[in-house]
Chains A and B, each alone.
Chain A
Amino acid sequence: MVLPGRFARPRYGTGRYSMLDFLYLTELFGLTVYDLKGRRLGVVRDAAIVPLVDPVRVDRFLVGGGWSWLTVRHDQVSRLDLTGIWLKDEQLTPYHSDEYMLRLMRDLLDQQIIDSHGRKVVRVTDVTFEILHQTDGDVLQVLDIDVGMRSILRRLAQGVLPRPWIRRLQTRIPHNSIRWEFVNILEPDPQRRLRLNISTRRLENMHPADLADLVEELSPEDRGAIFASMDSEAAAETLTEVDPDIQSSILESLDTEKAADIVEEMEPHEAADVLSELEAETSEEILEEMEPEPKTEVEELLEFEEDEAGGMMNTHYVALPETATVTDAMTAVAGEEELLETLNTIFLVDSEERLSATVPLARLFRASGITPLKDLAADTLIKVHDGEDEDRITELFDKYNLLALPVVDEDGKLSGVITADEIISVLRQK
């Protein structure tokens, strides 16, 4: 018989074929284990994976016999199916709790996991294994995490109806599973995360806004654990997207050093917003740990109220002298990798750093390299003072159809820019 590869998914659970090659955790639990002579040794109480060794293979079966539990290693199994497990080696050791084991019944079943493919937080109802018939014995590999009605039926009927009956009953219900490779286990204890080889790599690959939605659904402990083990840059991007109330509780749960690393990576105005939500003491501690440059930027912004121009503005912008040409602009922009995605306006400042004109970025495409930027400037210069209030600013955006609005201090010096996405957030929060 040709074995299905791990990624070519046969329609299991629908035909005879499936009866042989798949097993559910609900079926494995309570399965009888037989020794070499076919005598009953006990029943399976749990199964464990050792992720550091192999992330999919069931490494051990924990078997409850008389008084204590015994450990059956995967290489001691000769045959395994719906009717029982037959051993080829009966030198079994007593079960000792092992920090490196992920015990499926205890640590996975009924717990929440993150499905990084479907971008959801789900609760594990059952686990589907594939039985691999290898020459030296049968091996179980985790294939899917099951959620939804079909697995609920299995759980309810487990131990009440015979296993084959349950299989026949469930075929009418559509199945709902998540491939094991998309499953992200939640574990608040940092040491155990290491031992179980839990990484946040797959989470970091998600869009920060999606990850932020997921994180909001988790308990504070799990949120903290994810942010603590994430790369600071990805953590900063995600934190920016999280609901403001939750932002502060996440930062508070992290140790100061990590919190400072994350805040440094955030846009200064976002960082200032988050820090202003924290208790004064905590935000001081975080600022202390920060590098001098981002620290001063954030501290300056912290002076402003959240609902005035200074509190809404962003201090990342491109400003050039009045005499600059298109070529100068190109060079300046090329150096601002991070800004490129959202940049739409270039600012011109005089020798005193006072704002004199704005240049819409798109106009640069039609001009030659030697054209002075001044010639491309917008006709009217619309700007606000850093104390201007939120309502007036949104009004301006609406009236002049702005994408970016420069903010100046009392001397007319450019101090930041408010972008349209900030306005959208402000309006949505109302």
Chain B
Amino acid sequence: MKKFRNQFLIFLAVLGPGLITANVDNDAGGILTYSQAGARWGYLPLWTLIPITVLLIVTQEMCSRMGAVTGKGLSDLIREEFGLRTTFFMMAALVIANFTNIIAEFSGIAISLELFGISRYVSVPICAVAVWWLVVKGNYRSVEKVFLLACTLYVTYIISGVLVRPDWKQALIYSVKPSLAFDTPYLYMLIGMVGTSIAPWMQFYLQSAVVEKGITAKEYVQSRLEVIIGCIMTDVVAFFIIVACAGTIWKFKPRDIETAADAALALKPFGQWAWFLFSAGLFNASFFAACILPLSTVYTVCEGMGFESGINRRFNEAKVFYWLYTVLLVTGAAVILTPGFSLIWMTLFSQAINGVLLPFVLIYMMRLVNNKRLMKEWTNSTLYNAITWLSVILMIGLTVALIAISFKDLWS
């Protein structure tokens, strides 16, 4: 019993990186993708969640392991092992990809608060300042607690999913019954779901967060458990979002929705609470991700390129750090306020650029995690390697398909 208590205490001490990363994964873009899937296809897409969870666990586990064993971030390792030029191009792509994600988060903020009647010209600037303030003025330990609190707020999706009284029998059957149809929109939806679940930034963020938290190989077992729980939580939330949309929109008239707000509004006839919780959840998710993404981006870039970084530095000591952070945040927010801005185009572009980057990140990760000099006895076992390579190849196949479709749509 004492042993269990100790284990549990260590688990609490390592709590943070895995849960936060996994939950930020269900950001504005994720919620939109799941809502679209449920609205158009009903319970059909649910079977993908189990394989997605496995893929997510496999990739996230490797990152947290690398962080715990080497004590270095992913961009540090890429720089040390593959040189500056590789790092530079990777960081450039990451900045663009994350910038599109940041825009998506601000659009999530704008849309969710507009549901409550607050104009985006009020909400977006206020939230941008709030994000800046929280990150620059807060210290990481207290901010992490706020983030962990935000993680628990995802429960709103579970409640709103229950409130709309979906068909649970169908939901359970389709969760385990794969259904493949060679229909372009259906395939596109499937790829979109995988793409939104496993994004390049997560690998960088998680590994840095594990290092920052000071988790070492000794506490790794508990840290891995946390990562796995986080990944499962992500997909449980995804399940309820899909179910909520399936039980409402799809049940009456399957259709394509364009924003997460459409989904929220469709819940209205099923009670004020379902609608309220869905919208509040969207705001929570968007704001949460808007806090994490810009900061994670600048940390990753500065580490990899060797610029001074950290909010404990003065502006003059870490110019690149502060400038990049401010530019990402301010332009990300400003884009949303630009009249005539096409969110759909942005979403497609975002998926494409994330898709281009992901295979590279995964391949470099595989090479690093199997490097004996870095990982010592912590490299992948043969079986694990077989599973991960298979997942990586699957991911690459899917993302290549996604990029192809996204580009086709972008220029059509």
Which residues of A line the B interface, CB within 8 A? 109-112, 120, 122-123, 125, 147, 152, 155-156, 158, 218-221, 245-246, 249, 252
Given that A110-B80, A111-B80 are known contacts, is A152 also in contact with B305, CB under 8 Å in the complex?
Answer: yes
Given that A120-B308, A147-B306 are known contacts, is A110 also in contact with B70, CB under 8 Å in the complex?
Answer: no
Q: Does B71 contact A (CB under 8 A)?
A: yes
Q: How far is the CB of A120 from chain B (nearest CB, A)?
A: 7
> CA–CA, A122 to B302, complex, Å?
11
Per-residue A-contact encoding for B301-326, CB less than 8 Å = 1, 0 else? 00001101000000000000000000
A221 with B88: CB separation less than 8 A: no
Q: Does B120 contact A (CB under 8 A)?
A: no
A residues within 8 A CB of B214?
245-246, 249
Given that A110-B79, A110-B80, A123-B79 are known contacts, is A156 also in contact with B216, CB under 8 Å in the complex?
Answer: no
Q: How far is the CB of A196 from chain B (nearest CB, A)?
A: 17
A156 with B85: CB separation less than 8 A: yes
Per-residue A-contact encoding for B60-73, CB less than 8 Å = 1, 0 else? 00000000001110
B308 with A125: CB separation less than 8 A: no
Within 8 A of A (CB), among B204-220: 214, 216, 218
Q: How far is the CB of A211 from chain B (nearest CB, A)?
A: 17
Of B71, B72, B83, which is within 8 A of A110 by CB?
B83
Interface Cβ pair total, 8 Å cutoff: 38
Within 8 A of A (CB), among B173-219: 214, 216, 218
Q: How far is the CB of A285 from chain B (nearest CB, A)?
A: 16
A109-B83, A123-B306 known; 7 new pairs, CB 8 Å cut-off, are A110-B80, A110-B83, A110-B84, A122-B306, A152-B84, A152-B88, A152-B305
- A124: nearest residue on chain B (CB-CB)? B306
- B71: nearest residue on chain A (CB-CB)? A219
B216 with A249: CB separation less than 8 A: yes
> CA–CA, A249 to B214, complex, Å?
9
B84 with A219: CB separation less than 8 A: no
Of B70, B72, B88, which is within 8 A of A156 by CB?
B88
> CA–CA, A249 to B215, complex, Å?
10
- B141: nearest residue on chain A (CB-CB)? A429
A residues within 8 A CB of B218?
252
> CA–CA, A220 to B70, complex, Å?
8
B residues within 8 A CB of A122?
306
B residues within 8 A CB of A120?
308
Q: How far is the CB of A288 from chain B (nearest CB, A)?
A: 21
Within 8 A of A (CB), among B74-110: 76, 79-80, 83-85, 88
B216 with A220: CB separation less than 8 A: yes
B residues within 8 A CB of A249?
214, 216
**9 A-B pairs with least C-beta separation:** A123-B306, A219-B71, A155-B84, A220-B71, A245-B214, A219-B72, A110-B80, A110-B79, A249-B216
A residues within 8 A CB of B70?
219, 221
A-B CB contact pairs (8 Å), 13 listed: A110-B83, A111-B80, A112-B76, A122-B306, A123-B306, A125-B306, A152-B88, A155-B85, A156-B85, A218-B71, A220-B71, A220-B216, A246-B214
Given that A123-B79, A249-B216 are known contacts, is A156 also in contact with B71, CB under 8 Å in the complex?
Answer: no
- B218: nearest residue on chain A (CB-CB)? A252
Given that A219-B70, A249-B214 are known contacts, is A156 also in contact with B84, CB under 8 Å in the complex?
Answer: yes
- B83: nearest residue on chain A (CB-CB)? A110
- A155: nearest residue on chain B (CB-CB)? B84
A residues within 8 A CB of B83?
109-110, 155
Most B-side CB within 10 Å, residue of A220, A245, A246: A220
A residues within 8 A CB of B85?
155-156, 158
- B72: nearest residue on chain A (CB-CB)? A219
B residues within 8 A CB of A152?
84, 88, 305
Q: How far is the CB of A106 from chain B (nearest CB, A)?
A: 11
Q: How far is the CB of B378 from chain A (nearest CB, A)?
A: 13
> CA–CA, A112 to B79, complex, Å?
10
> CA–CA, A122 to B309, complex, Å?
11
B residues within 8 A CB of A125?
84, 306
A residues within 8 A CB of B72?
219
B residues within 8 A CB of A246?
214
> CA–CA, A122 to B20, complex, Å?
29
Q: How far is the CB of B379 from chain A (nearest CB, A)?
A: 16
A residues within 8 A CB of B84?
110, 125, 152, 155-156
Q: How far is the CB of A124 from chain B (nearest CB, A)?
A: 8
- A249: nearest residue on chain B (CB-CB)? B216
B residues within 8 A CB of A218?
71
> CA–CA, A110 to B75, complex, Å?
12
- B304: nearest residue on chain A (CB-CB)? A123
- B303: nearest residue on chain A (CB-CB)? A123
Q: How far is the CB of B319 from chain A (nearest CB, A)?
A: 11
Q: How far is the CB of B14 from chain A (nearest CB, A)?
A: 12
Within 8 A of A (CB), among B27-82: 70-72, 76, 79-80
- A120: nearest residue on chain B (CB-CB)? B308
Q: How far is the CB of B128 from chain A (nearest CB, A)?
A: 28
Q: How far is the CB of B250 from chain A (nearest CB, A)?
A: 49
A residues within 8 A CB of B76?
112
B residues within 8 A CB of A219?
70-72
> CA–CA, A111 to B84, complex, Å?
11
- B309: nearest residue on chain A (CB-CB)? A217
Q: How far is the CB of B326 from chain A (nearest CB, A)?
A: 19
B residues within 8 A CB of A220?
71, 216
Q: How far is the CB of B41 from chain A (nearest CB, A)?
A: 46
- A217: nearest residue on chain B (CB-CB)? B310
> CA–CA, A246 to B76, complex, Å?
20
A residues within 8 A CB of B80?
110-111
> CA–CA, A228 to B189, complex, Å?
55
> CA–CA, A7 to B214, complex, Å?
40
B residues within 8 A CB of A158?
85
A residues within 8 A CB of B308?
120
Q: How far is the CB of A329 from chain B (nearest CB, A)?
A: 42
- A109: nearest residue on chain B (CB-CB)? B83
Within 8 A of A (CB), among B110-139: none
> CA–CA, A246 to B71, complex, Å?
12
> CA–CA, A127 to B218, complex, Å?
37
- A246: nearest residue on chain B (CB-CB)? B214
> CA–CA, A219 to B305, complex, Å?
17
Most A-side CB within 10 Å, residue of B79, B80, B306: B306
A221 with B71: CB separation less than 8 A: yes
- B70: nearest residue on chain A (CB-CB)? A219
A residues within 8 A CB of B305?
152
Q: How far is the CB of B1 from chain A (nearest CB, A)?
A: 17
Q: How far is the CB of A347 from chain B (nearest CB, A)?
A: 37
B residues within 8 A CB of A112?
76
Q: How far is the CB of A313 from chain B (nearest CB, A)?
A: 26
> CA–CA, A258 to B396, complex, Å?
49
A residues within 8 A CB of B306?
122-123, 125, 147
